[in-house]
Amino acid sequence: MTEGLYLRDAYLRSFDGRVVAAGPDGVLLDRTAFYPTGGGQPNDTGEIRDGNGRSWTVVGVEKSPDGIRHSVAGEPPAAGTAVHGEVDWPRRWAHMRYHTCLHILSGVVFHRFGSDITGGQIYLDRARMDLSLPEFTRGLADEVVAEVNRVVGRNFPIAVRFVDRAELDRTPGLVRVDASLVPEVDRLRVIDIEGFDAQADGGTHVRSTGEVGPVRLQKIENKGARNKRLYLTLDPAAPPAG
């Protein structure tokens, strides 16, 4: 299986690894910093190269039963090849900010209404989240986003921790999605916005809520009797250089 380096360090943008297998379905590495599509967050893109000056553009990344596979342009490197990977950092940074924004929104709605998440999607320039709420007006949505911005402004630190699956029974609020979507693993990854909220999550996040920046409500939609969809945007921001 592939070691997902992004799970512990979302700011890691380069790494060294080795090709385990390669073929029409992609390049399987022993370790990677490239995030695979999942949880509403798009995959990373970037480049891998070997020690002989050859390079391959990474255009897609996805999980497979054998590990994390990277779709590359052109003939892939052979199994056993040592490679160096470089993640498209501005793209990753945008996804990190929006994912953390949705995490904060989820926390606000959960603590205020006890509502779970029914869906979400992240893009480079916007994000949406679906919530299970029977009554949700534009005015109430504005209040919720104002609270999201208060959390952003307090600049809470964000930490990654891993917990035993049994902790889910002791702390059911850690999971905000349908239980069937929780992976069957012994230890779960938790994103902890210290002093505000913690929830199981497999995506990449910034180090503090202040890095998200001002959050703006673009629009809301009714997607069924109980499902409400919020669209959010953030101001463009340059990723940290170091």
Give the C-alpha distances (Å, rounded to integers) separating 150 from 13, 138, 158: 30, 18, 15
Topology of the domain comprising 92-234: Threonyl-tRNA Synthetase; Chain A, domain 2 (3.30.980)
For residue 157, the 8-state DSSP code is B
Sheet with 158-164, strands from edge to edge, namely 158-164, 187-193, 197-200
CA 49 to CA 83: how far, in whole Å?
Answer: 5
pLDDT value for 91: 97
Q: Are 29 and 49 in contact (CB under 8 A)?
A: no
Tell me where in the chain the CATH 3.30.980.10 domain(s) lie.
Answer: 92-234
Angle 39-41-46 (CA atoms, 0-180°, nearest 5)?
135
Determine the pLDDT at residue 175. 75
Six-digit token string for 170 = 């002791």
Q: Name the most confidently modeled range: 134-138, 162-166, 214-218.
A: 214-218
| 106 vs 169, more confident | 106
The alpha carbon dihedral of 140, 145, 149, 151 has a sign of: positive
- The pLDDT, as a whole number, for residue 174 is 80
Beta strand 158-164 with 127-132 is unpaired
Tell me what the pLDDT averaged over the chain comes to: 92
Are 25 and 69 contacting, i.e. CB atoms less than 8 angstroms apart?
Answer: yes
Task: Give the 3-state secondary structure of residue 90.
Answer: helix
* Rounded-to-integer distance, Cα 139 and Cα 144, Å: 9
- For position 184, what pLDDT does the model report? 61
Strands 26-29 and 55-64, by their bridges, are unpaired
Rounded to whole angstroms, how far apart are CA atoms 71 and 84? 15
Residues carrying CATH 2.40.30.130, the chain: 3-87
| Per-residue model confidence as pLDDT tens digits over 44-99 | 999 999 999 999 999 999 999 999 999 999 999 999 999 999 999 999 999 999 99
pLDDT beyond 70 at 152:
yes
> Dmax over Cα atoms in the chain, in whole Å?
60
The CATH architecture that domain 3-87 belongs to is Beta Barrel (2.40)
Give me 18's structure tokens: 């080795």
| DSSP three-state, residue 102 | helix
* Low-confidence winner among 144-153, 169-178, 199-208 (lowest mean pLDDT): 169-178
Q: Give me the pLDDT at residue 185, please.
A: 64
User: Hey, what are 165's tokens?
Assistant: 């699956």
Cβ atoms within 10 Å, residue 182? 15
- pLDDT tens for 179-236 read 555 556 678 899 999 999 999 899 999 999 999 999 999 999 988 777 889 999 999 9
User: Does residue 116 surpass a pLDDT of 90?
Assistant: no
Rounded to an integer, the average pLDDT of 106-132 is 91
Encode pLDDT of 6-38 as tens digits: 999 999 999 999 999 999 999 999 999 999 999
